[in-house]
Amino acid sequence: MTFRPAAATGMPLDEVDTPCLILDLDAFERNLTRLPESLRGKSIRLRPHAKSHKCPEIALRQIALGAVGVCCQKVSEAEALVAGGVGDVLVANEVVGAAKLKRLAELAKQAQVAVCVDDAANIHDLDAAMRAAGVTLGVLIEIDVGAHRCGVVPGAPAVALARQIAACRNLRFAGLQAYQGAAQHVRKVADRREAIARAVGQVQTTTRMLAASGIPCDTVTGAGTGSYMFEAASGVYHELQAGSYIFMDADYARNEWTESGIPQFEHSLFVWTTVMSASAPDRAVVDAGLKASSVDSGMPRVADYSDVDYVKASDEHGVLQLKGATRFKVGDKLKLIPGHCDPTVNLYDWYVCIRNGRVEALWPITARGAVL
Amino acid sequence: MTFRPAAATGMPLDEVDTPCLILDLDAFERNLTRLPESLRGKSIRLRPHAKSHKCPEIALRQIALGAVGVCCQKVSEAEALVAGGVGDVLVANEVVGAAKLKRLAELAKQAQVAVCVDDAANIHDLDAAMRAAGVTLGVLIEIDVGAHRCGVVPGAPAVALARQIAACRNLRFAGLQAYQGAAQHVRKVADRREAIARAVGQVQTTTRMLAASGIPCDTVTGAGTGSYMFEAASGVYHELQAGSYIFMDADYARNEWTESGIPQFEHSLFVWTTVMSASAPDRAVVDAGLKASSVDSGMPRVADYSDVDYVKASDEHGVLQLKGATRFKVGDKLKLIPGHCDPTVNLYDWYVCIRNGRVEALWPITARGAVL
């Protein structure tokens, strides 16, 4: 059920089978260093989100460049990361159900692990599960700062949960998660800045009320690739969770970036695909469809050809519209820039890592499919 | 990289971890028999598409009910099916590139295998690869009957390719593939019927020209769940490739079905999910997002609750809008009907098969991720 990689190390890119996920190592490494460099001189920690890459090889490289650890969304992702050598993982999400809480407790024996909460009954269950396992777990309260997904309303409801956590024998109040996910793909810099300014105000309200209740809050965590410089400059966030910066997908590339202070990241992640049909004059069909590149955030873009659009995806086919002079023949290979990197990565078992036109390494995506 | 199943056999459904893919065995078995029963008395073969289920357990059940074999889209899917005991597989798609052609030739030594073509150079490559392996392969010419994806224009271009195949020592002309994919989700019965009528005309033009050239065509294959009864009634199709009928996803359920002659299939495939956040009065958040249910054909539907809509998916979250009296608490579990079954199945390693509220079996999705 785990498929062979599409390539072997040393192989020229032209010979790499398709569709597969290729990582341009030079571009990737520039992205990898560019984000921590952009934070130089700022007193803020980086905890990149591993839900984007699902790969311990990448997490360890982020940590080597100064990240304090990584985030992930699922206990099974955390298990894969810890098994791959990552020592500090925040499950930046609510974890519900006896089976998962038990696994979370076991994991807390092997690594520094923390989790988010937004529900009193869930806090009770977490405490009971940690007590049964004889461990103490760091717990962050998630507040809803505009994404309208998980999280309690900022202010009093967060204070009430913090008091409850403080009274739990096997839980430790570890701070606030305040992730403004809805702001990340707002196109205009000014609108993203304003959305984060509102979130910052809500965080401040909450931390002031916590302080007034005698509950110190030493970690506020959040931010994504689209907004992280605003959280970094806010003075109230301590940890940044950006993840997509290492890959820079087509949807993020549609954001305006000028004057944001956020560096220009490069596309480093591609779907390598073959033209499998060229029987019509104005279209070609490639072998990468819905099962090779997620279309939830729009179609993939065709790299290197400005007169070719990927216009339609079915399960195993992508239809290219040939708007200009470019024509393909069956067997031609080309690169697609995925619309959304996270669910695209989740379709594959391997990164085929390319440098100077050859396969330098194959990195297993060990948290692929880790939904539990 | 293959994850543990979310359940063990015998476990009550309530205890099954989430998100996971559950199969209601009673509904599935009714769908499984309903399609072949609807063809009783018609002289037509069923070759269901396995790209929907990617599971030899299911393919073997289809064959036990009279299917002559299955279709799939990728050589690696065919390999997984043959490894699981399926003896007759049509790769209902073009296969391009030396590595894949070599694997296709090897597979043809183990099972009855055929493939589609729409390109002269590809036919040349196929013949060379089969000759190198010492096998003969059945080859079908794909014609474009309205889907505007792969396939040559019906008529003369198909005859030219058939002549070329007939001249190849290691290829055997095995018929026409005429799949009108674009018609499957056209909502109105009358419009689907008309689209298939046009396709039938194009097939007839082609088969007449083939006959006039002395090239008999004994197989015309195509059709999907949305239209198969029209192809079955046409008198020109010999094989039907419907696949989704076993699951019936939310997108297919939006079709009009009355007076089509196509039986009402039931939803048998669900994503089992847990409410992970209920902190706002008018929404709940479930643990199944983009990585648990593909949204390319619309959001999943919430089963059993008419006043609850799944309105927004992010990577690991689904936002439910509570339009009526229904309220959920954290930990409640519910069933989602996937928008599109094929790419949703491709996210999972296991079917958790349910009967009478308990896990009866776990079927591995051995062609999950089989894109090569």
For domain B13-21+265-364, give the CATH number.
2.40.37.20
Q: How far apart are CA A261 and CA A71, in angstroms?
A: 23
Low-confidence residues of chain B: pLDDT under 50 = none
Q: How far apart are CA A323 and CA A225, in angstroms?
A: 32
Of the candidates B278, B348, B349, which has its C-beta nearest A119's C-beta? B278
Complex ipTM value:
0.96
| Domain positions in chain A | 13-21+265-364, 39-247
Report the pLDDT value the prediction gives residue A259, as an integer from 0 to 100: 85
The CA-based angle B35-B41-B46, given to 5 degrees, is 40
Q: How far apart are CA A102 and CA A81, in angstroms?
A: 17
The CA-based angle A93-A144-A238, given to 5 degrees, is 70
- The token duo for B236 is 């020109």
CA atoms within 13 A on the CB side of A190: 0
For domain B25-253, give the CATH number.
3.20.20.10
> Which residue of B lies nearest to A151 if distances are taken between CA atoms?
B279
Chain A nearest C-alpha distance from B365 (Å): 7
Q: How far apart are CA A358 and CA B150, in angstroms?
A: 31
The mean of the pLDDT values for chain A is 97
* Cis peptide, bond prior to residue B19, ω within 30 of zero: yes
Does this model's pTM top 0.95?
yes
The crossing angle, in degrees rounded to 10, of helices A156-166 and A189-212 is 50
Report the pLDDT value the prediction gives residue A101, as an integer from 0 to 100: 98
Query: B105 burial class (0-12, 13-18, 19+ CB within 10 angstroms)?
Result: buried
Report the pLDDT value the prediction gives residue B2, as an integer from 0 to 100: 57
Give the pLDDT mean for A10-18. Answer: 98
| Strand-by-strand arrangement of the A220-222 sheet | A45-46, A239-240, A220-222, A171-177, A137-142, A112-117, A88-94, A70-72
> Which residue of A lies nearest to B152 if distances are taken between CA atoms?
A279
Give the pLDDT mean for A113-142. Answer: 98
Strands B269-280, B358-364: pairing kind: unpaired
Q: What is the pLDDT of residues A270-322, one digit of tens each?
A: 999 999 999 999 999 999 999 999 999 999 999 999 999 999 999 999 999 99
Measure Cα distances from B232 to B86, B92, B178, B344 in Å. 24, 18, 13, 28
The CA-based angle A358-A362-A363, given to 5 degrees, is 140
% of residues, chain A, pLDDT over 90: 97
Set of chain A residues whose Cβ sits within 8 Å of the Cβ of B18: 97, 372
Q: What is the pLDDT of residues B105-128, one digit of tens each?
A: 999 999 999 999 999 999 999 999
% of residues, chain A, pLDDT over 70: 99
Asked if A21 contacts A3 with a C-beta cutoff of 8 angstroms, the reply is no
Report the pLDDT value the prediction gives residue B259, as an integer from 0 to 100: 85
Gyration radius (Cα) of chain B, Å: 22
The mean of the pLDDT values for chain B is 97
> Which residue of A lies nearest to B151 if distances are taken between CA atoms?
A279
Q: Does B182 touch chain A (CB under 8 A)?
A: no
CB contact (8 A) between residue A100 and residue B148: no
Asked if B315 contacts B294 with a C-beta cutoff of 8 angstroms, the reply is no
Q: Does B2 touch chain A (CB under 8 A)?
A: yes
The amino acid present at B271, given as its one-letter code, is V
> Which residue of B lies nearest to A318 if distances are taken between CA atoms?
B149
Instruction: Give residue A2's pLDDT band: very low, low, confident or very high (50, 70, 90).
Output: low
CB contact (8 A) between residue A370 and residue B3: yes
Q: How far apart are CA A144 and CA A177, in angstroms?
A: 9
Among B362, B367, B371, CA closest to B345: B367
Query: B258 burial class (0-12, 13-18, 19+ CB within 10 angstroms)?
Result: exposed
Asked if A123 contacts A165 with a C-beta cutoff of 8 angstroms, the reply is yes
Q: How far apart are CA A4 and CA A90, in angstroms?
A: 31
> Which residue of A lies nearest to B182 if distances are taken between CA atoms?
A314
* Chain A contacts in chain B segment 203-242 (CB below 8 A): none
B212-215, long-range: CB < 8 A, 24+ apart: B213/B159, B213/B162, B213/B163, B215/B159, B215/B162, B215/B163, B215/B166, B215/B173
Q: How far apart are CA A131 and CA B188, in angstroms?
A: 59
Q: How far apart are CA B232 and CA B262, in angstroms?
A: 11
Chain A nearest C-alpha distance from B36 (Å): 25
Set of chain A residues whose Cβ sits within 8 Å of the Cβ of B13: none
Of the candidates B51, B317, B319, which has its C-beta nearest A315's C-beta? B51
Measure Cα distances from A57 to A71, A84, A365 in Å. 15, 8, 9
Q: What is the pLDDT of residues A151-209, one digit of tens each?
A: 999 999 999 999 999 999 999 999 999 999 999 999 999 999 999 999 999 999 999 99
Report the pLDDT value the prediction gives residue A4, as an integer from 0 to 100: 81
- pLDDT reading at A337 higher than 80: yes
Set of chain A residues whose Cβ sits within 8 Å of the Cβ of B73: 315-316
Of the candidates A148, A285, A364, which has its C-beta nearest B1's C-beta? A364
CA atoms within 13 A on the CB side of A40: 6
- The token duo for A213 is 């209740």
The fold of the A39-247 domain, in CATH, is TIM Barrel (3.20.20)
Of the candidates B118, B278, B368, which has its C-beta nearest A1's C-beta? B368
> Testing the interface with A: which of B140, B315, B359 to mutate, by most A Cβ within 10 A?
B315
> Which residue of A lies nearest to B349 if distances are taken between CA atoms?
A1
